[in-house]
Structure 1
Amino acid sequence: MTDKKPDILQPVDDSARRLGKTLVRTARFASLATIDPLDGSPSVSRVSLATAMDGSPVFLISRLSGHFANLEADSRCSLLVGEPGKGDPLAHPRMTLIGTAENLSGTPARDQAKSRFLRRNPKAALYADFPDFAFWKFTTTRASLNGGFGRAYAVSASDLACPAAALESLSEIEEGAVAHMNADHADAVGRYALKAGAATAEGWRLATLDPEGLDMTSGDEVVRLWFDAPLMSAQELRPVLVALARKSES
């Protein structure tokens, strides 16, 4: 009789779901693994990352790259997110997303993907509209989350899903709301960043928002502030932002 292999996976709870979502929402880059059509070999590269409002990863790549051709031949791919940080890189959380990627060229989703991506990666504006570049949206089917030693989880797509009630209405107002906050309420954005764990309130800009929270950037740094509860409509955004600003003052 063979010994049963021990189950090293932990049950997926709200803490694991929040960690997984945070890794995706705050990722500046990812390792992209594609399938080489020549012989089926795995091929890995690095891509800059942002997210669609629903939390799906979005990346911008050139047709001149090998992974562009690989994805055209086979849309199956994986993304590894999670920054190593100081010390042992294996002690830091990371997550492998498994799924497929779709080229957004010629689709209605392309413009919003571009807007959100450039607010997270402003230097990409230099080449984002070059004819050989395209935005791709990743759809997760499952994920493997490692929160550090002894903290492994098999995460489903539903565990990482963003509540859908406010997605459409927030998408319609997001760009204007972000511009307004950065232009007229920079002090509040700084306080949001402090509440999210930033060391200082100086230099932060609101980059993107979604039904579950705010992403802010300062140079190469990214922090995320989660709402107490997901928004159900765009009309709830302003009262929530006002309440967060007041809380952060106290």
Structure 2
Amino acid sequence: MGSQQGICEARALIRGGLAATLASSAAGQPFASLVTPAPAPDLSPLLWLSSLSEHTRHLAAEPRCALLFTGRAEGANPQTAPRVTVTGLAARVPEEETAPLKARWLARHPYAALYAGFADFALWRVRIGGALLVGGFARAERLKAGDLSPDPEAVAAVLAAEAGIISHVNEDHADAVAAIAEGLLSAGPGPWRLVAVDVDGCDISEGNRTVRLAFPAPVRDADGVRAALIRAAREGRTTPGRSG
């Protein structure tokens, strides 16, 4: 079993990744490409892919793949950057399941609304089989899928409450959302709105870009989300130099 610290670091990298490197293969030849993932509530990376892309054709023929999520390096040496390589199986999301997951993907990548309706695009999901976390220079840890996966009951509870949480926070606590985005996350001014919630954190968007708030620890229900948001808003309001 992976360490708790390693599990939290890996999940934070996957949840927070705006971009990743996808490794696919064709006839034994490896191929790497840039993709823009978004995590499903259960942590499975979601990809909005064009059938015209080479990597999509690869995945259709050979679903085994890998995704590399990379954080920020501490200094000049890129090897100090935390990163996690996720291995798994890619499959196109069934049509009847696409709408809510596509909305979640678009919440992470709002700029993509310009081409999200193109006929050649479809939603894909990578089922995680395992991962290798490198927390920095010479610090590696292998993680099983079971180590990474959030508790299914907590995932279901937060997902069931998500729409209500988003509506309530945006309608009644817009100032708190702004405090989190502008103060705590230093994202600058904007019409910030809460757009997605999961057991590990939430996404906040101003229509053109999205920033991620990671909770201090995974939550299990709506009360846990509420407590984490209240804490984040309080910290954001006391951040020196906050605009507004």
Q: Normalization by structure 1: what TM-score?
A: 0.82
Partner of 1:134: 122
Cα pair 1:25 1:215 within 8 Å, conserved:
no
Once the 2 structures are TM-superposed, how far is the Cα of residue 82 of structure 1 from its aligned partner?
1.0
Once the 2 structures are TM-superposed, how far is the Cα of residue 198 of structure 1 from its aligned partner?
1.8
Partner of 1:28: 18
The residue identity in structure 2 corresponding to 1:73 is A
- Partner of 1:113: helix, strand, or coil? helix
In the superposition, relative to structure 1, how do residues 210 and 238 fare at CA in structure 2: closer, same or farther (>3 Å)?
Answer: closer
Partner of 1:150: 138
The residue identity in structure 1 corresponding to 2:90 is A
- Please list every run of 5 or more consecutive structure 2 residues that lacks an aligned counterpart in the other structure: 239-244
Q: Report the structure number with the largest CA radius of gyration.
A: 1
Q: Between 145-154 and 179-188, report the one with greater CA deviation.
A: 179-188
Q: How many Å separate the matches in 2 of 1:58 and 1:178?
A: 21
Q: Normalization by structure 2: what TM-score?
A: 0.83
In the superposition, relative to structure 1, how do residues 239 and 81 fare at CA in structure 2: closer, same or farther (>3 Å)?
Answer: closer
Partner of 1:95: 84
1:207 to 170, 175, 195: 195
Once the 2 structures are TM-superposed, how far is the Cα of residue 105 of structure 1 from its aligned partner?
4.0
Q: How many Å separate the matches in 2 of 1:19 and 1:209?
A: 18
1:122 equivalent to 2:110? Answer yes
1:74 to 57, 62, 78: 62
In the superposition, relative to structure 1, how do residues 245 and 41 fare at CA in structure 2: closer, same or farther (>3 Å)?
Answer: closer
- Please list every run of 5 or more consecutive structure 1 residues that lacks an aligned counterpart in the other structure: 1-10
1:223 equivalent to 2:205? Answer no
- Partner of 1:166: helix, strand, or coil? helix
The residue identity in structure 2 corresponding to 1:140 is I
